[in-house]
Structure 1
């Protein structure tokens, strides 16, 4: 059968009205047009669907079967339309978001939670990458959007700052660098370090700047969390570079001192990164607006 949804809607209007004339009016069709389409429907079905009588029409057994399935199909169409409207409005779907370590651990949790809580049909898949990797993925069309540090070369992509993300050195209390107001990164590279686990975007970033200074970090231990890292530094295991917000968060429980880094790469800002605002999916546009995007 080649019936379309308009045919099914017309047929139901006629059956429910018990009249071809009234059914045509409900379907906003001229009587002649409705009658012609009804003949085509019956011809396509290969069976009589309506009984004509003096007071109107009534569905045959075959017509009742068609009406039953037509109601199911039109109801499903309404459900589909509703779901598509939710996708279009950003209230449904999956957000694939790439973010550097600082964004994942410090910036996103408190800001993402209320947005996600108000959208129960939205899922978010977070992936940690370095800022450089995120920019490469977006530039290549392999990722839609991400959150990166502004120190990265954006390759023509849009970067919108949304938060400060300065990196600082933390050292055990009593360490010879503890009273320094600020220090160059190269001056501390002879010290043992506490780092984050392999694959951490932030640790890769710090390691890259150490290599740029001609050294490899002497990592005594790698920790899965910033809490564990700060605890190790407090016990004198080594020094570490962490986001300033992280250093402040764990400072009350840790016996360490915070020292500013003089390098410009340590004075970062977190930025929303994307190719084109109009090309973003509705859920991502909604999230980025919530996070502070200026459009």
Structure 2
């Protein structure tokens, strides 16, 4: 028995109308075509489905069973079509977005929240990586897009700036250079530091720049949150490097001092990173547009 969705739709049109003539009209078919298809359906199932009467048709017991299952099948088909449409428009599914520590903690939460709230059936999986790791992952075709620092080389990929992300050095109020307004990383690299937990993209970024100048930071303790880092610095445990926006937000509460980092690598911008706008999925394009991205051809 081979019945397609058009067969089921025609059969239900006839059943609901109580007439082959009116059922054909509802199915947008000529009467002769509808009658022939109904005969083919009955031949395929090997049993009479309709009882023809002078004033129309009624279903047989087998016809009742077919009508019941046809309604279930067509209802499921409509649900499937709707879900696939939701996937295509970004209302359903799971998006994987890679981001560095700063983007995850200070930029994405308030920007992502309204977009995601408007799509209750969509899931977003955020993955924290260093900017260098994100670029490599996208270049290898293992991810669609990410949020990275503009300090990274991204040959063959597109970077679109969406927010400032300067880094600052926070120091205890009693620190010998606390009255300065700016400092180079090398001037403070021999001091005790408070770091972020292992795996933090920002901490990996700072450690890499310490190695670039031949140093290994003396990290006395590692904290999971920026607030914990700020509390440790305020208590005099050590110095720390955090995003400037976070440093300013926490300074009044904790009473440490904030010094701008004069190094080029610390004057960053957050950027969307992707390979080709046209190759992004519709949900990802929608998300990136919301975050401030615009379609852009590879330069």
Name the TM-score, length of structure 2 as normaliser. 0.96
Alignment size in residue pairs: 295
CA contact (8 A) 1:235 1:255 kept: no
Question: Shift of residue 153 of structure 1?
Answer: 1.1
CA contact (8 A) 1:134 1:148 kept: yes
Question: Shift of residue 80 of structure 1?
Answer: 1.5
Q: Distance in 2 between matches of 1:123 and 1:212?
A: 39
Q: Distance in 2 between matches of 1:124 and 1:177?
A: 43
CA contact (8 A) 1:95 1:283 kept: yes
1:252 corresponding residue in structure 2:
252
Residue 239 of structure 1 pairs with residue 239 of structure 2: yes
Q: Distance in 1 between matches of 2:28 and 2:237?
A: 80
Q: Distance in 2 between matches of 1:294 and 1:143?
A: 19
Residue 114 of structure 1 pairs with residue 114 of structure 2: yes
Q: What is the correspondence of 1:1-295 to structure 2 with a 5 Å cutoff?
A: 1-295=1-295
Q: Distance in 2 between matches of 1:16 and 1:120?
A: 36
Question: Shift of residue 283 of structure 1?
Answer: 2.1
Q: Distance in 1 between matches of 2:187 and 2:175?
A: 14
Question: Cα deviations across residues 244-280 of structure 1 (Å, max 9, x unaligned)?
Answer: 0110111011121111111111000001111122222
Question: Cα deviations across residues 28-81 of structure 1 (Å, max 9, x unaligned)?
Answer: 111121122111111111111111122222111101100110011111111122
Question: Shift of residue 281 of structure 1?
Answer: 2.0
Question: Shift of residue 217 of structure 1?
Answer: 0.6
Q: Distance in 2 between matches of 1:130 and 1:109?
A: 18
CA contact (8 A) 1:157 1:274 kept: yes
SS at match of 1:57: strand
Question: Shift of residue 85 of structure 1?
Answer: 1.8
Name the TM-score, length of structure 1 as normaliser. 0.97
In structure 2, runs of 5+ residues without a counterpart are none
Q: Distance in 1 between matches of 2:18 and 2:105?
A: 65
SS at match of 1:154: coil
Q: Distance in 1 between matches of 2:94 and 2:149?
A: 24
Question: Shift of residue 121 of structure 1?
Answer: 1.1
Question: Cα deviations across residues 157-191 of structure 1 (Å, max 9, x unaligned)?
Answer: 11111100001111111211212232211121111
Q: Distance in 1 between matches of 2:178 and 2:232?
A: 16
SS at match of 1:161: strand
In structure 1, runs of 5+ residues without a counterpart are none
Q: Distance in 1 between matches of 2:2 and 2:150?
A: 57
Q: Distance in 1 between matches of 2:254 and 2:283?
A: 39
Question: Shift of residue 146 of structure 1?
Answer: 0.8
Question: Shift of residue 282 of structure 1?
Answer: 2.3
